[in-house]
Amino acid sequence: MLQSLPTQSFGGIEQSEQKKKEEFRNYSDSLRTDIVNYTYLQNHMNQTVYFVESMRAEYSKFQRAKMTLWQALERLDEVVDDSDPDTSNPQIYHAFQTAEALREKYPEIEWLPLVGLIHDLGKIMVLPEFGGLPQWATVGDNYPVGCAYSDKIVKSEFFQYNPDAANSTYNTLYGIYQPNCGLKNVLLAWGHDEYMYMVCKHNRSTLPQMALDIIRFHSFYPWHKEKAYEHLMSESDYETRKWARRFSKCDLYSKSHDLHTPEQVEKVLKPYYQSLIEKYFPNPVLEW
């Protein structure tokens, strides 16, 4: 369940007003630099083509749990993202911050706040009943494996320790891919994005494809922010990138917004989001 956090520790309107946009995603000297660097070092060392393919196969079984979306969401209260330089709050707070920021900015798009609510739900993979994966296999910016690493990836210098970097099959511009093959045909590093996309597809969510693609690619910052990997994009990926970028701004900058209290969630937010869940997830109990 959502727990109250002390206002003096996590701020509110004052924090929102003080933090400038250019102060987000500070990977050089934030208060969380050590844990962030360690997480990215482990990520860039270990995310190989073999690892990604094995994780996709393992998590395609959907045998880890059966629970409602809301029950899974509440488990985010146990998860802090070690790759994030901007917040040490449990991820459940970020879920509501993102959802409400999108709801305010795009009131005409009914499904978008729900995407904001669940976009990071795949991070429950760090919990024991969902596999107990290490943080490096769950969180962080995303990028393709099986081809040369872009220098636009956060902490790209750590890829020198990845065995795929020395593999001639994988270390060229296109690697195992064809020009303009489309992102749906590209293996991205394993993490919460792909897992939640798979959960939605497996449980027959009626969210539109654009919603599913935002979930799948929202952490692909070198692509939607830095415009890397255009040589792998299909024509439709340009529209997806536009929406991923719009989503990203609400995802990122809402981290300094006020935190919702348990009372606000239970009395105000839960009824609204539960109605969206029921609309876009016809089966109330999902396989995870």
Dihedral angle over CA of 245, 246, 249, 251, nearest 10: -90
pLDDT given at position 24:
62
> Torsions phi, psi of 111, nearest 5?
-80, -15
Would you say residue 203 has pLDDT above 80? yes
The two tokens of residue 156 are 């790209």
pLDDT for the residue numbered 5: 38
Work out the average pLDDT over 108-122. Answer: 98
Q: Does residue 12 carry a pLDDT above 50?
A: no
* Greatest distance between any 2 Cα atoms in the chain: 57
Residue 84 is predicted with a pLDDT of 80
Q: What tokens appear for 15 in the block?
A: 């924090």
The string of DSSP codes covering 162-231 is: SGGGG-TTTSSSSTTS-TT--GGGSPBPPSHHHHHHHHHHHTT----HHHHHHHHHTT-HHHHTT---GG
Residue 20 clears pLDDT 90, i.e. is over it: no
The bridge status of strand 285-287 relative to strand 66-68 is antiparallel
| Cβ within 8 Å of residue 10, ≥6 positions away | 89, 259
3-state class (DSSP) for residue 269: helix
Q: What is the DSSP letter of 188?
A: B
**Range 20-24 average pLDDT:** 66
Q: Comparing 88 with 270, which gets the higher pLDDT?
A: 270
Model confidence pLDDT, tens digit, residues 223-232 = 999 999 999 9
- How far is the C-alpha of 73 from the C-alpha of 213, rounded, in Å? 20
First to last CA, the chain: 19
* Percent of the chain scoring above 70 in pLDDT: 90
Question: Which amino acid type is present at position 7?
Answer: T
Q: In a 3-state reduction of DSSP, which class is residue 261?
A: coil
Statement: residue 40 has pLDDT above 70: yes
Calpha distance 48→165 (Å, rounded) = 9
- pLDDT on residue 30: 73
Token readout for 69 is 């979306």
For 233-264, write each residue's pLDDT tens digit: 999 999 999 999 999 999 886 775 788 899 99
CA–CA separation, 275 vs 153, rounded Å?
38
Confidence check: pLDDT of 146 > 50: yes
pLDDT value at residue 4: 37
Mean pLDDT (whole number) for 163-191? 98
Look over the chain and give the mean of its residue pLDDT values, rounded to a whole number.
91
Q: Which has the minimum average pLDDT: 23-37, 153-167, 236-250? A: 23-37
Mean pLDDT of 152-176: 98
Residue 85 has pLDDT above 80, yes or no: no
**Would you say the pTM of this structure is higher than 0.75?**
yes
**Does 163 have pLDDT greater than 80?**
yes
pLDDT band, residue 87 (cuts 50/70/90): confident
Q: Is the pLDDT of residue 9 over 60?
A: no
pLDDT over 50 (residue 10): no
**21-35, 48-62, 113-127, range with the lowest pLDDT:** 21-35
